[in-house]
Structure 1
């Protein structure tokens, strides 16, 4: 079966997919709520700490992506370290996180537009979870996803080129806010960074958890490494660079909004940075901030819609799900069947509407925390078993990626335990998680008699060294 992907994503395209996938939408207007809850210092310094943790986690991906430059990223790492079970765990966690986030965007796109055109939230509707879903709103979200699907269908090169344009626009608008914010604003608007009586350490620590959800999407660099036309050693650097760029962007723009206008006043507004620049006398920059929210939504959606089908492709190559999803388009080199599956899953969840937005975000955050932590265990196992493999990027000290993995695992555990500040919503989100796990187990069991794994799953150059360390069915599978 043809499952060849084309190497046509350049350095700038890969950086744009990685960093653009991280920079989302809601952060630029929800800072009013976060300023109120945690203070400007709590959000900004908490985001800084979370960014440092994300960089630590990315060190595992950075090294492994230069050994296994195969589509699917952590799916391949999971197989090399723990066999099919490891590949399924990594793939199902990543796929669940990406699908839930994309389903969130189906509704989020219309929510943004309704702030300018409230009439779209009128007319015929249906209700789900006690919240109205207007057909006009749903049509806008579906239309956006179809557009993103079309971009990805016609090749990774087209996707990368479009992402470069969107990303450069995003950076340009952000720079305008930062330059004006710091040149026309004052530190007195930011200080004191915390409200009276607010514990500084607690505020910073509590914001680390939601900040982690802002910092997802860079995994796409490793997932799409097979299609990158750059030296392998640079792929690991792009993984880390993507987080650094996105984190600096987040912090600089949020800090500029607290510099240009007193953050305590922004905390009482509805649209955060958007309202802050308008109130400070810069209506054009307020429009820029609003445009950033749309561009961030678009860049994140494009990246996740590119990454999710590659995860499915990799699972199919590994005989973990049906092989029909390993098929690629003979001309465009895109995983067509996997793309159609992602579209069906996203639209199948997206129609649920605004009443399930929190569910999508919570599930996505929990699953991505699992995926991040698992990458560390994969690195440790592969380092131990396959010492002869020479990565293009190598961590001198494993303590740093291990620390990132432990923190990510801790977040995932606290999410599962009822009664913590980040617990899943009982019983709905626990039921959703159980269903998703059940689907993964069914897919695994349905393919349990498939023992022949194509060399392209790991790459032929890695077949012999890895085979030496495997035993039983996993060794036969190679």
Structure 2
């Protein structure tokens, strides 16, 4: 039986979901800590380097998303290239990254509110990793995530419209900070961009991993390609635009905060850009920065929740997860059971609270790096197996996406080696990673299904793959 999602997301809706999904919350107030650790130059230039890496990697997604428009994105590419094992690897990596980030938002939302209403951080609590989790904070975080769930439940069309509105507000508020920051600030507040104790190259390199977590979310464009109501050949353009728009937004706002007020002093503050504009004499813009943090949290949570549910839906189509998760609401056209599972996973991790914030960010960065690199290998394999495929966006040369994939794989590898600047935290993050991998393997071996490309999983794309003879000539890859 065919389980299809509705074509209900407009071109601008998908851009808002892609770019808005990247623009998160914590970057605008954690830059005080990042300025202190890496210098303003380390964070801003490290973010720029990560954005360049993301654009290179996105070239793979851009081509593949126009060729295969089935829901699931890299889950589908992995299936077409390497079969069921490839589908599991890609889907489980991205799903783990998205769930980790959403669990981060459960705590981050209440953390933001407590800066205005500190009284919520009182009363009954429990501790995790030596940090108190107040029940009031947890309830607020859960309530916000339930709202995100409900908007997703009632259809991608509603999700897209809400996302467009929030994204436009983000742009207006961000432009206000940038215009005032650069017109009323001074380059002397930014230079020198590093303190004397900070090594420039090391600081930039060390920030790439958390920056990759900040840049997560544009993959959702490919994941939701099936629901686009415009020609699929334009989806690749949306993929790249999402990264470029989000990266320009991040860098412009962060640089404006270092321009309007000395970044060395911002490094000693609690709320980064929010405090910097207030200290510079612009209290209204400080409120704008605070609003950006909430809107960024909402847009990112909305996109990642939507994308995570489609990953579950696609994995179920591939018979890696139980078939019950392919159920589509007859009226709203949304994968209802997949949405419920994502909600359960997010809340199941979100209760860990502020003590697990670093774990969530590090795990998200590692899994995203894996998924990014794997997309390149999928492109190389599919080009070799199916050289006749052309969805309308095709890389003339494979050097750039391959280079991006190799770099992403190198970053992922370094996180597993103890003692490197980007190593996972021993033993907690390694344990979490092992548990997540264990769940994926259990699901893989307990679900029965065909190893070949199936009509149910690939839909019309299955006929596309089988419509011509497969070439084995490696020269056709180049």
Q: Same fold (TM over 0.5)?
A: yes
CA shift for structure 1 position 94: 0.7
Given that residues 190 and 259 in structure 1 are in contact (C-alpha distance below 8 angstroms), is that contact kept between their aligned partners in structure 2?
A: yes
Once the two structures are superposed, the pairs formed by residues 63-462 of structure 1 within 5 Å of their partners are 63-196=63-196, 198-448=198-448, 450=450, 454-462=454-462
CA shift for structure 1 position 467: 7.7
State the SS of the aligned residue for 1:66. Answer: helix
State the SS of the aligned residue for 1:348. Answer: helix
| Aligned mates of 1:205, 1:110 — CA distance in 2 | 31
CA 1:122 to 1:332, structure 2 compared with 1: closer, same or farther past 3 Å? same
| Aligned mates of 1:156, 1:197 — CA distance in 2 | 49
State the SS of the aligned residue for 1:80. Answer: helix
* Number of equivalent positions: 470
TM-score, normalised by the number of residues in structure 2: 0.96
CA shift for structure 1 position 199: 3.0
Q: How well do the aligned residues superpose, as a CA RMSD in angstroms?
A: 1.5
State the SS of the aligned residue for 2:132. Answer: strand
Given that residues 386 and 466 in structure 1 are in contact (C-alpha distance below 8 angstroms), is that contact kept between their aligned partners in structure 2?
A: no
Given that residues 68 and 459 in structure 1 are in contact (C-alpha distance below 8 angstroms), is that contact kept between their aligned partners in structure 2?
A: no
CA shift for structure 1 position 206: 2.2
State the SS of the aligned residue for 2:126. Answer: strand
| Aligned mates of 1:349, 1:194 — CA distance in 2 | 36
Given that residues 317 and 454 in structure 1 are in contact (C-alpha distance below 8 angstroms), is that contact kept between their aligned partners in structure 2?
A: no
CA shift for structure 1 position 125: 1.4
Given that residues 23 and 300 in structure 2 are in contact (C-alpha distance below 8 angstroms), is that contact kept between their aligned partners in structure 1?
A: yes
| Aligned mates of 2:37, 2:100 — CA distance in 1 | 26
| Aligned mates of 1:6, 1:464 — CA distance in 2 | 21
Given that residues 28 and 273 in structure 1 are in contact (C-alpha distance below 8 angstroms), is that contact kept between their aligned partners in structure 2?
A: yes
CA shift for structure 1 position 462: 3.7
State the SS of the aligned residue for 2:83. Answer: helix
| Aligned mates of 1:464, 1:280 — CA distance in 2 | 59
Once the two structures are superposed, the pairs formed by residues 10-25 of structure 1 within 5 Å of their partners are 10-25=10-25
Mean Cα deviation higher: 39-48 or 291-300 = 39-48
| Aligned mates of 1:216, 1:388 — CA distance in 2 | 31
Deviations for 1:301-332, whole angstroms, at most 9, x for unmatched residues?
00000000100111111111111101100110
| Aligned mates of 1:203, 1:445 — CA distance in 2 | 43
State the SS of the aligned residue for 1:126. Answer: strand
| Aligned mates of 1:165, 1:468 — CA distance in 2 | 44
Given that residues 24 and 297 in structure 1 are in contact (C-alpha distance below 8 angstroms), is that contact kept between their aligned partners in structure 2?
A: yes
State the SS of the aligned residue for 1:6. Answer: coil
Given that residues 189 and 262 in structure 1 are in contact (C-alpha distance below 8 angstroms), is that contact kept between their aligned partners in structure 2?
A: yes
CA shift for structure 1 position 133: 1.4
CA shift for structure 1 position 469: 7.0
| Aligned mates of 2:204, 2:433 — CA distance in 1 | 29
CA shift for structure 1 position 454: 4.5
Deviations for 1:247-295, whole angstroms, at most 9, x for unmatched residues?
0000100111111111111111111111110011100000000110111
Given that residues 388 and 465 in structure 1 are in contact (C-alpha distance below 8 angstroms), is that contact kept between their aligned partners in structure 2?
A: no
Given that residues 362 and 424 in structure 2 are in contact (C-alpha distance below 8 angstroms), is that contact kept between their aligned partners in structure 1?
A: yes
| Aligned mates of 2:343, 2:123 — CA distance in 1 | 26
CA shift for structure 1 position 419: 1.6
Mean Cα deviation higher: 7-16 or 204-213 = 204-213
Deviations for 1:12-61, whole angstroms, at most 9, x for unmatched residues?
10000000000011111111112222222222112111111110010000
| Aligned mates of 2:42, 2:435 — CA distance in 1 | 36
Mean Cα deviation higher: 263-272 or 66-75 = 263-272
TM-score, normalised by the number of residues in structure 1: 0.96
| Aligned mates of 1:293, 1:147 — CA distance in 2 | 17
| Aligned mates of 2:361, 2:25 — CA distance in 1 | 13
| Aligned mates of 1:68, 1:372 — CA distance in 2 | 17
Once the two structures are superposed, the pairs formed by residues 42-57 of structure 1 within 5 Å of their partners are 42-57=42-57
Given that residues 73 and 222 in structure 1 are in contact (C-alpha distance below 8 angstroms), is that contact kept between their aligned partners in structure 2?
A: yes
CA 1:174 to 1:468, structure 2 compared with 1: closer, same or farther past 3 Å? same
| Aligned mates of 2:213, 2:464 — CA distance in 1 | 39
CA shift for structure 1 position 465: 3.1
Given that residues 32 and 269 in structure 1 are in contact (C-alpha distance below 8 angstroms), is that contact kept between their aligned partners in structure 2?
A: yes
CA 1:125 to 1:317, structure 2 compared with 1: closer, same or farther past 3 Å? same
Mean Cα deviation higher: 197-206 or 74-83 = 197-206
